[in-house]
Structure 1
């Protein structure tokens, strides 16, 4: 990419990040264009679909979450690695309102721009869960999809003003349900 094109791309991503932070996954592509001071066609040239935009916005965070799983796996006991990664995942899904629904749809659609990143995150979580199950510290009747559903639910809870203050408590309730033989906090 030429230097000026890269600068425009970076500027669009920065503006998009701000708009999506304010309005969530339903952010308007027109609003992004307006705030960036460009035409909608320019935005669509860089991001032909909403998923392409979210892929660009989320890929770095999703890749970091996948990398964290590997780091926790090599540096923590299985149950601690799972809980530490799960906490990181909940924080991530809470980062943009509506991102959970986008990720859930993308995980089911191999043609989605988000598919590869979402699949890598799902597999990272499933790997940590299997490791804890093999160790006997996680429920044997769960799989990676259950883990992602619980992560998504906690992300949704964090978006609800009436539940947000109980987020940490609910996180501990859920992780206590995932793990076996773990003392209550």
Structure 2
């Protein structure tokens, strides 16, 4: 893709993300094009229909969250990387009145995009989970999909009570640790 076409594509995706956050996946495409500063031809050349644009927004959000995992691994200790990425995952689920869940619901679960995104996010979860498991600080029986389910559960539960998210994250991370002295019966 030429540099100007790439910039247009990225601007459209970002403006669509904002519009979907404000109005849901039915946000007017013409408004998205206006926000991005492109004409209808440019918009439809990149995204022939609404579904293609929704998938692009979802994919870009998942790619960013996955990339964050690898950035954290490079700069923080394993435990800190897990903590920060888990928080980012919960924020992702809670973002903008559950934009992620709305977009995910609009995507066909058998689509190439859904399969790609599922693989990216599962790999990212494994990348932050395995190093901390190797230190012995986190239970070895926790799998990447478990981490994703826990983060999704907290995000969904705190959609209307975001102030509780931090506390629930702390409780969840404590439950994953191997150094707990006591167990709840």
* 1:166-181 correspondence to structure 2 within 5 Å: 166-181=164-179
Q: Give the Cα separation in 1 of the matches to 2:119 and 2:50.
A: 18
The match for 1:78 is: 78
8 Å CA contact retained: 2:12, 2:32: no
Aligned runs of 1:114-129 on 2, under 5 Å? 114-129=114-129
CA contact (8 A) 1:51 1:113 kept: no
Query: CA offset at residue 85 of structure 1?
Result: 1.3
CA contact (8 A) 2:25 2:103 kept: no
Q: Give unmatched runs, 5+ long, in structure 1.
A: none
Q: What is the match of residue 138 of structure 1? A: 138
* Aligned-residue offset at 1:79: 2.0
Question: What is the CA–CA distance in structure 2 between the aligned matches of 1:147 and 1:107, rounded to whole Å?
Answer: 23
- Tell me, in whole angstroms, the C-alpha distance in 2 between the residues paired with 1:86 and 1:16: 26
Alpha-carbon separation, structure 2, partners of 1:4 and 1:70: 28
- For residue 113 of structure 1, give the secondary structure of its aligned residue in structure 2: helix
CA RMSD of aligned residues (A): 3.5
1:54 and 2:33 correspond = no
Q: Taking structure 1 as reference, are residues 134 and 28 closer, same or farther at Cα in structure 2, changes over 3 Å only?
A: same
**What are the ranges of 5 or more consecutive residues in structure 2 without an aligned counterpart?**
none
Given candidates 29, 34, 45, the residue that maps to 1:32 is 29
Q: What TM-score comes out, normalization by structure 2 length?
A: 0.72
Alignment coverage as a number of residue pairs = 177
8 Å contact from structure 1 (residues 51, 114) kept in 2: no
Q: Check the 8 A contact 2:94/2:158 in 1, yes or no.
A: yes
My pick for the range that moved more, 148-157 or 61-70, is 61-70
Moved more, 32-41 or 76-85: 32-41
Q: Hey, what's the Cα distance between the residues in 2 that align with 1:100 and 1:113?
A: 15
Q: Is the 8 A contact 1:154 1:167 kept in 2?
A: yes
- Is the Cα–Cα contact under 8 Å of residues 107 and 114 in structure 1 kept in the other structure? yes
